[in-house]
Amino acid sequence: MPAGFTHFPWVNPDAPKGGEITLYALGSFDSFNPYILRGTAAVGSGVLYDTLLKESSDEPSAEYGHLAGIVELPADKRGVTFELREGARWHDGRPITADDVVWSFNTLRQHGRPFYRAYWADVTEVVAETPRRVTFRFSTDQNRELSLILGQLAVLPKHWWEGRDFARPLLEPPLGSGPYRIERFEAGRSIAYRRVPDYWGRDLPTMKGTNNFDFMRYEYYRDATVSLEAFKAGQIEFRTENVARDWATGYDFPAVRRGWVKRDEIRHELPTGLQGFIMNERRPLFGDRRVREALGLVFDFEWMNANLFYNSYTRTSSYFSNSDFAARGLPEGREREILERFKDRLPPGVLAREFKLPATDGSGNNRDGARRALDLLREAGWTVRDRRLTNAQGQRFEFEILLNGPTFERVALPYIQSLQRLGIEARVRTVDPPQYQVRMDAFDYDMTVEVFGQSSSPGNEQRDFWTSAKADENGSRNTVGIKDPVVDEIVEMIVNAPSLPELTAACRALDRVLLWGFHSIPQWHSRTFRLAWWDKFGRPERNPKRALGLDSWWVDAAKERALAAARAAG
C-alpha cells in the first residue's frame, strides 16, 4: 500500500455500522485471558486489544502502522523502535503508553504460553524511552523478521492488571483498547461483544470499513452437529463449514431452498500447513522411525476421500503445503547444499529419493500397504502372536487416539480397523475441548490430530514447533516431541535467513527432514473457505487473498427487514 493510503482495498470504507451477528463456538470457556496455559479462553477475545502493527490480509508478511504510527530501524539492525500514536487510549480514557508495551512484552514472556518465549527469543531488552516511544534491542542482526513480528504484540493495560494475577484464568471482563468490549457473558455458554462507538482507532487506514457490527454474540455448543442444527433454525447467522459430508448433504433444508440462506466457496491463497495424526514420541512405543512409517502405510486416504469426504480434499504432502516452501522432487541447489552438511545424520533416502506418501486404489483393500507395514514392524522387533502384535518383551502394541470432539471419530474408526489387521489394538478417547487442551499442554496422549499452521513467511515460530528445547516444555507447540539436532540447526537457518531464496531453501530442507522422519501421518487440506449465512449481510466486492475477511461484512438493513418479513410470513 502507498504512503497515505486511506483503507485496505478489500473493504468497503463506507460500510454502515450497526446491527448484530450471532456466531458459534464449540466447547466452553472459563477465562478471558487467551495468553496463558491455564484455563480455556473465550472465543473472540482478541478484539479487546490493539497491536502495534496490523497485518495485511492481502499480502504475504506485510504489516502497517496501527497502535504505532512510526517504526524506526537502526542501521545495525539490532533493534526496532515503535512510536505510539497520539490519542491512543484504553476504554477507561487513559492513554496507552510505552510502559504498557514494556509490561505486556515482559509479562507475556514470563507468564504467557511458551510460544512467546520461542517467538521473541532474540529480544534482549525492551525500554520505554519516552511515554510514547519504546525500543526493543536484539541479540543478533540476522533475525530479519523480528521487527515485523514484534508488531503483532497485543498491548495490555499495565494499570488494570496491577493487583491481579496474570497467570490465573480470568472471568472478569478485562479493560481493553480495541474496537469491542465485553457486553455480557454466561461462563461456558455464551459471550457478547459490543462495538465501542468512540473507539480511538476507528478512522485509521488499518480499521476503516471493518468491525461494522454493533453487537457480536457467540453461542457455545458441545457438538458440531448440534451447532449445524442451530444454524438451520436461525439461532446462528453465519457459519464456516469444515465437515465435507455436511457441506455436501447437510444444507438441503427449507431456508436454503427459499433463498433465505446463502452459501459460497471462496478460494484463498493461504499456506495450508499440515494436519495429520501425530504420535507422541515421548512414548517409547513411537520412538522407532520404522514404526511410525508403518503406521502411515495403512492410512487409506483415497478410500476416505471417496467414501467420507465426497472427493473434496487434496492429500497433504508437506509441512508447508500450498506454498513455495514445500519440498518437491529431489533436493537440488542450495537446498541440497544444506542437506549435504548433515548427510551422515539424515534418514536413508533424504538425498536420494523424492518423498512420496503411499497411495491406494481407493477400494479399501490396502494389502500392499499392510504387507509393507508388517515388514517394517518386524524389522523394529514386533511380530504377530495370537493375532496380536507383540515385541520380544511380551508388550502388546496398543495405544489411544485422543480427540476433542466426535467429528474425527468417523476418520479414526476406519483407521483403527486397518490397524487391527496388523494386530494393533487402538482405541478412541473423545473428550471435551477444555480437557483436550489440558492433556495436550501436558503431552498426555499417545496419538491425536494436530494442525501445524504456517504463515506466508516461516520464521521464529518454527522454534516452538520443532526444536529440542521445546520438546519437554509443557504447552509448547512441539507436541510431537521431536529432539533432533539436525532439525534444530535448520530451524536456526530459517530464523536467520538473509534472503528469500535462502529462506526457501532452508524451509524445503526442514520439510524434507521432517517428512522422512515420519513424525506425522499427513491428512488433507482444502484451498477454499466454505461459508453459509442467513441473508441479512452485505459484503465487499472481493475477499482478501489470505483471510476470510468477515470483519469487513456488515448488516444490510434492507436485507434484514426482507428476511424478517419472509420468515414471519413463512
* Residue range 320-352, pLDDT digits in tens: 999 999 999 999 999 999 999 999 999 888 999
Q: How far from each other are the two terminal CA atoms of the chain, in whole angstroms? A: 47
Q: Would you give the DSSP letter of residue 323?
A: S
CA distance 135 to 73: 10
The residue with cell 482478541 is 46
Residue 121 pLDDT > 90: yes
How many CB atoms within 10 Å of residue 395? 12
**Does residue 220 carry a pLDDT above 90?**
yes
pLDDT at 434: 87
Q: What is the pLDDT of residues 355-412, one digit of tens each?
A: 999 999 999 999 999 999 999 999 999 999 999 999 999 999 999 999 998 989 999 9
pLDDT in tens, 444-487: 999 999 999 999 999 999 999 999 999 999 999 999 999 999 99
Rounded Cα distance between 220 and 192, Å, is: 11
Whole-number Å distance between alpha carbons of 263 and 266: 10
544-564 CB burial, b ≥16 within 10 A, e <16? bbbbbbbbbbbbbeeebeebe
Q: Indicate the pLDDT class of residue 140, thresholds 50, 70 and 90.
A: very high
What is the C-alpha separation between 29 and 188, in angstroms, rounded?
Answer: 4
In the three-class reduction of DSSP (H, G, I as helix; E, B as strand; rest coil), residue 95 is classed as strand
In the predicted structure, residue 511 carries a pLDDT above the cut 90: yes
What global pTM score does this model have?
A: 0.93
293 neighbors 372 (Cβ within 8 angstroms): no
pLDDT at 570 over 90: no
Nearest to 451 by CA among 240, 278, 244, 224: 278
All 3 cell numbers of residue 27?
A: 466447547
In this prediction, residue 176 carries a pLDDT of 98
Residue 223 has pLDDT above 90, yes or no: no
Asked if residue 433 has pLDDT above 90, the reply is: no
Report how far residue 55's alpha carbon sits from residue 149's, in angstroms, rounded to the nearest whole number.
10
- Which set of grid coordinates corresponds to residue 140? 543478533
Instruction: Determine the Cα–Cα distance for residues 220 and 43; give it in Å rounded to an integer.
Output: 9
Q: Is 329 left (phi over 0), alpha (psi -120 to 50) or beta?
A: left
Residues of the chain with pLDDT > 70, as a percent, come to 100
pLDDT of residue 348: 84
Q: What is the pLDDT of residues 67-109, one digit of tens each?
A: 999 999 999 999 999 999 999 999 999 999 999 999 999 999 9
Q: Which residues of 488-518 are buried (b: 16+ CB within 10 A; e: fewer)?
A: bbbbbbbbbbeeeeebbbbbbbbbbbbbbbb
